[in-house]
């Protein structure tokens, strides 16, 4: 393989990364927003342990787990375990 072929293949990889980065970036931004919401709701619940804050924390944690591909039932179970461990 000569240098020209390597450069051409590298350019093809860069173009492919540029094309696919839009889809991956949108998904990453969505997951980041869900992580922030989950963390902030857990913080609010730790400061004020009301039922309303607990339900919001469970919903936010379950939404994050479902975004990662977990089933709704397992996501709710995991969120409840997370709340109980705090």
Domain boundaries, the chain: 3-85
Question: What pLDDT score does 61 carry?
Answer: 93
Q: Which pLDDT band, with edges at 50, 70 and 90, does 30 fall under?
A: very high
CB-based contact 65:74 (threshold 8 Å): yes
Question: What pLDDT score does 57 carry?
Answer: 93
Average pLDDT, the chain: 91
Question: What pLDDT score does 13 carry?
Answer: 95
Higher pLDDT: 19 or 10? It is 10
Question: What pLDDT score does 85 carry?
Answer: 87
């Amino acid at each position: 393989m000569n240098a020209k072929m390597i450069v051409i293949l590298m350019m093809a990889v860069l173009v492919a990364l540029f094309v696919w980065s839009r889809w991956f970036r949108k998904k990453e931004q969505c997951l980041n927003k869900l992580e922030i919401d989950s963390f902030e709701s857990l913080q609010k619940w730790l400061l004020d342990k009301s039922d309303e804050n607990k339900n919001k924390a469970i919903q936010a944690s379950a939404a994050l787990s479902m975004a990662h591909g977990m089933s709704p039932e397992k996501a709710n179970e995991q969120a409840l375990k997370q709340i109980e461990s705090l």
